[in-house]
Chain A
Amino acid sequence: MPIIGFPRTLFYYTYWPFWNTFFQGIGFQVLRSPATTKQILDCGIRETVSDACVPIKIYHGHVMALSSQIDYLFCPRLVSVDNLSTFCPKFLGLPEMIRYTIPNLPDIIEIDIDLKKGPLELWKICLGLAKSYGCSTAQAFKSFYSSMINQQAFFKLLHQGYRPEIAFDILFEKVPATVPKQEPRLNIAVLGYPYQVYDSFISCNLIHNLEKLGVKVWTMEMIPEQNLRAYQKHLPKRLFWHYSNRVIWSLYYYLKQNSMDGVIHITAFGCGPDAMVDKLMELEIKKLAKEKPFMSLTIDEHSGEAGLLTRLEAFVDMIAFRRRVS
């Protein structure tokens, strides 16, 4: 069985169930890279242009960690998943960046995923893929169907409040779903792109650390689609990028929830879209909810857990203090 590699970052946290199920269904063994480590990061930094953002460097590192064990590398050009926005230009140039910077790569499965072209686009892409590896239409459809089911189930688990990695285990390893028992002191919305929020190496265990401080963490993945979409007209001009739009919409959503005690924005050093998003968040919070505490955390390849922890503690203490005073 040919082995197909899937780097464990970027859209992995959103679309892994679909592609994992699909490739298994058409007769591939799917191998994802290990969770991000220092070594993966260092490899990525060595090969990538210096001014790229840290998620892109990590992606390069993951590809290098995989490349000797796989027959094919799955590196699609993710252009759009709806007709509202595209992905960041770095996603659009990703296959080329990988191909021209990393030596000795296996075959790259480079497909354009541009779903704004039409409602059947995803099926067409999948059919094309399956055909090129010698699968019948029936098998392709069967696989496509179960992929869609799994992806929906995954989104449902996210809405119930499970983190992506736990949801993957529930879906694929059949780990029983457990409800975390915790009496949260505070509710904090942690907004940012999934590959920064959920990658515990690059976010320096942010979620875990917050939970240890007695905080219930809310992320943008927990908001059902229709609740998010309700806010799409709030800005005079829609942003161009998929994840950035969702961050802004979820900000509006959480600002409406009175139980929310504060907002943390996680952004990567040098992230292009976030330069806009972060300032917009700051200005919108100032306009809509003046007293809501907001902190923006910038992560990069030099982030240390101690520094981050200090800032989180200060933020949480401040909110707790305010609550006591009022």
Chain B
Amino acid sequence: MKISFPRMGTSYIAFKHLIEHLGHECIVPPAPSSKTLNLGVKHSPEFACIPFKVLTGTYLEALELGADTLITSGGVGPCRAGLYGMLHQKILQNLGYDFQMLVFEPPLLYLTDFISKLRKILKPNKISWHRFYKELKTAWQKLMILDDVEILSHRIRPYELIKGSTTSAFNNCLSLINEADSPEEIARSKESCADILNSIPQDKTRQPLRVGIIGEIYVVLEPFMNLEIEKILGELGVSTHRSIYLTQWARNNTIINTEGGIRKAAYPYLTRMIGGHGINSLGETVLYAKNRFDGVVQVAPFTCIPEIVAKSILPRVSKDLGIPVLSLTIDEQTGKAGVQTRLEAFVDLLRQKRLMEGSIYAGVPGN
């Protein structure tokens, strides 16, 4: 089988590893570009969110490259993303493509469905369950390392002496991880990545602003869609933090459904799950405020229902807890220069705020 899948940040490296080790050909989905987006917009419903449109484009590109099987995840709602598999399949079939689509639903709710779909992948190459488990573990290890390295890069970027050096070092790390094959090599690649990143010339005396990034998972994870917001902020000298990573999300949502801390933090403002990352956006803002972050940036796709609900409650959270929030709504019309300008203005305001608060505290005895 020639298998392809949605591309989400750097995770494709781990998925490629898994698919190849299960004996299939992996069609790595090309990095989303404006061509992908144009293709997607052409064939998607007008009011679908940008992740849907980019995925349509990605699938079309992957099918053109020869993929015959698409793997994606399902969901139980009420966020629309759970239905994307079905609708994508219908749209692509309507365009005349011949392929099979395997939509993996949460295994705890639909166990038989999950296993039968898995069997379709394992059977052709006679992979045993034991072997599958081992390969899955290695791929998971790769995924964790990818996230760890990314977290480290975001931590280092605001201190870099030469603008852009972190990004190019990070790209070197990615190809290093991509080449690592056995579990030992993967573990070793992590150390060498840490060395590469730590050897970037840094100015440790800086005191960067700290900004939390919240919003819908796909827009937060895929740099093409959020217009590399973490890179822009990092190069403006801001240390960014986000609590959404694929490994974290998967750990919390697919196996057991507990996000106790975040949900509890959101409780005064929203008491119910509203799908997607709506309640997370509120809870994380509260937690960022409590941890004395300087500000929060919300990135949400246009027409994303859970984020709209969150967005209408966020001003109150911001006022109650005194944390500035910038909401960015992203669709296919969003331009990078516009986002950059807004981020620069936001960062200027945060810097001003910190300066003011600093001088206020300086006047208080004991400070």
Cβ-based interface call for A88 (8 A): yes
Mask, B42-57, CB within 8 Å of A = 1, is 0011111100100000
Binds B, one of A131-139, A255-263, A266-274: A266-274
- Does the CB pair B274–A89 fall under 8 Å? yes
Kindly state the separation between the CA atoms of A286 and B303 in the bound complex, as whole angstroms.
26
Selected interface stretch from B86-94, B151-159, B233-241, B285-293: B86-94
Q: Count chain A residues whose beta carbon lies closer than 8 angstroms to a beta carbon of B.
A: 38
**Does A90 sit at the interface, judged by CB under 8 A?**
yes
**Interface residues on chain B, size class:** 35 or more
B308 beta carbon closer than 8 Å to chain A: yes
Q: Collect the chain B residues with CB atoms within 8 Å of residue A100's CB.
A: 269, 312-313, 315-316
Task: Evaluate whether A51 and B302 lie within 8 angstroms (CB atoms) in the complex, with A100-B316, A240-B83 already known.
Answer: yes
The residue from A79, A101, A236 contacting B86, defined by CB atoms under 8 A apart: A236
Known contacts A88-B78, A96-B313, A272-B80; is-contact A51 B308 (Cβ 8 Å): yes
User: A268's closest neighbor in chain B, by CB?
Assistant: B47
Cα(A96)–Cα(B90), bound, Å: 36
Q: Is A241 an interface residue (CB 8 A)?
A: yes
Determine the main DSSP class of A at the interface with B.
mixed
Q: Decide yes or no: A77 and B272 within 8 Å by CB, A52-B312, A90-B309, A270-B303 being known contacts.
A: yes
Bound complex: CA of A48 vs CA of B315, how far in Å? 12
B90 nearest CB neighbor, chain A only: A283
Q: A89-B79, A275-B48 are in contact. Are A49 and B312 (CB under 8 A)?
A: yes
B-chain residues with CB within 8 Å of residue A274 when the two chains form the complex: 47
The answer to whether A271 touches B308, judged by C-beta atoms less than 8 angstroms apart, is: no
Tell me whether A88 and B312 are in contact in the complex, defined as CB-CB below 8 angstroms, given that A77-B272, A235-B86 are known contacts.
no
Contacts of A112 in B (CB 8 A): 272
Q: Which of A228-251 contact B (CB under 8 A)?
A: 235-237, 239-241
Q: Residues on A close to B: CB < 8 A?
A: 48-49, 51-52, 77, 79, 86-90, 92-93, 96-97, 100-101, 112, 235-237, 239-241, 267, 269-276, 278-280, 283, 286
Q: Which residues of B contact A237 (CB under 8 A)?
A: 74, 82-83, 85-86
Q: Report Cα–Cα, A49/B304, bound state, in Å.
A: 13
Q: 8 Å CB contacts to A: which residues of B62-91?
A: 74, 76-80, 82-83, 85-87, 90-91
Contact A51-B87, Cβ < 8 Å, known A92-B272, A276-B80, A283-B94: no
- Chain B: residues with CB nearer than 8 A to chain A? 44-49, 52, 74, 76-80, 82-83, 85-87, 90-91, 94, 269-276, 278, 302-306, 308-313, 315-316, 329
**Nearest B residue (CB) for A87:** B78
| Given A240-B77, A240-B78, A276-B83; A92-B274 close (CB under 8 Å) | yes
Chain B contacts of A51 at CB under 8 A?
A: 302-303, 308, 311, 329
Shortest CB-to-CB span from A288 to chain B, Å, is: 12
- Distance between Cα atoms of A90 and B271 in the complex (Å): 14
When distances are taken between beta carbons in the complex, the residues of chain B under 8 Å from A286 are 94
Collect the chain A residues with CB atoms within 8 Å of residue B86's CB. Answer: 235-237
In the complex the two chains form, what is the Cα distance from A51 to B80 in whole Å?
Answer: 17
Would B308 and A96 count as touching, CB distance under 8 A?
no
Are B45 and A276 in contact, with the CB atoms below 8 A?
yes
Q: Which residues of B contact A87 (CB under 8 A)?
A: 78
Chain A neighbourhood of B52, CB < 8 A: 275
Q: How far apart sit A51 and B74, CA to CA, in the bound complex (Å)?
A: 26
Given A100-B269, A272-B305, A273-B80, does the pair A279, B45 have CB atoms closer than 8 Å?
Answer: yes
